[in-house]
Structure 1
Amino acid sequence: MVTVATWNINSVRLRLDQVERFLAEQQPDVLCLQEIKVAEHLFPHAAFERMGYVHRAVHGQKGYHGVATVSKLPLTELSRHDWQDNGEARHVGVEVGGAGKGLLIENVYIPAGGDEPDREVNPKFGQKLDFLERMAHWADTVDRPSLIVGDFNVAPLEHDVWSHKALLKVVSHTPVEVEALERFRIAHGWVDLGREYVPADQKSFSWWSYRNKDWKASNRGRRLDHMWASPELAPQARGHRALTECRDWERPSDHIPLVTRFEL
């Protein structure tokens, strides 16, 4: 059994105590972090060594973005795709286990896309759509069972947001973003593991804005974080959880971790 977790931590150094608590309590074999906001040489390597995550692939930059995959199991870094096409650190791909026969894990942080869902007035939104298009072209070439995880910054389904009607014109849930993500899904036939375990007609969220003082009472969330598996890998999943309790921790990330167990 191999357990993989993903979490947009919103600064790994600021929330290192929370990462340590999560790893101690949940003991995943592999943790994929997004928005680490630190360059590789300043990443808290010693802390992860101490916790037993002695294998790491870190693609970071100063102050912004960045992804890291840490593992108890041996891993080999395979790729750092620049789907943003501007040098930002938003992806790292690894193979966990034996070369050529291990588990491929793609860790991605898709751009948020700014506030206005119009590429003519908001270049960031256009960059997000182009990012998704480049991912779709890549997915069309994937020829091994893989797992792609991370902060997709898109809530694609009606019940992935607190109000489908209210958010149709809000970045992360607009039809054009949903269609772009769907093209990526179709390109490889990805299976959305979160919705394999929570039916699509039930609300399911992974992010709640800091602007909501009582996030739990208002529950105005969105499902921005995802774990998608190749069609061949998806049937090997044995359980998937969204750890909502982490949003209640002191100075939390606005995202929660997702955890999936695989019988490989």
Structure 2
Amino acid sequence: MKIGILGVGHLAQYLVQGAHGVEFVLSPGSGGKAERLAARFGCVVARSNQAVVDQCALVLVCLPAATGPSVLAGLQFRDGQSVCSAMAGAAWGALAAAVAPARAFCTMMPGFANAFSVGPSLLFPDDADWAAFLARLGPVHRFDDAQSYETAAVFGAMSGASFYLLRQLMRWYVAQGLEEGVARVLVAETFRGNAEVFLQSDAGLDAIADGVTTKGGITAQLVAVLEDKGALAAWDAGMDAVLARMVPGR
């Protein structure tokens, strides 16, 4: 499998690291990132963005969302090509117009977790080639309708924000005198274990919450403080704001 990448930043670095067995052709002009990836993973660095497009039937767009559309508008794509955008908030319709006559697809993934091949990816619309590539990076969720994909794509921000939550919890333990390495592992293992409960248990979410909460107990105490401070509802407000930014009018 050969894939060209336009835009070599952190996301492209994570994907190259996680997608074993893929031949990557990278765009230049990334402050040396492309050259470092080439040296480490055997990628090819093209002379220009257009050279990436000319050499690859599959093109992955990892450009910044603010400048990506204008970059794509200056490139010449061809019939039979397949272009998948990982730009946050990139509307499929606008992407399709920019890369015509190539076929257009959108994806979203957490990034860092994909470097370890454990991060979920979204794909809209479904496509066998892109699904096969994304499967090298973790689970793939395929969507056939734009609205469901747009809603699910907010998880890109949710994933990033979750690191701030994990860091906040770890820092609390450290402030109380727990060794940093122990705190990091404890927080990570707790969230990983709870995630497995969500994935493996047949119980509903309310039943799971009730099952770990004793009336008047320490979990109930912590949840009450968080609710009083608006900490839980703030996640709704934040994700609403991200969705409105990514999909104006939603």
* Same topology, TM > 0.5: no
Higher RCO, 1 vs 2 (CA within 8 Å, ≥6 residues apart) = 1
TM-score normalised by structure 2 residue count: 0.36
Please give the TM-score of this superposition, normalised by the length of structure 1: 0.35
Structure having the higher strand fraction is: 1
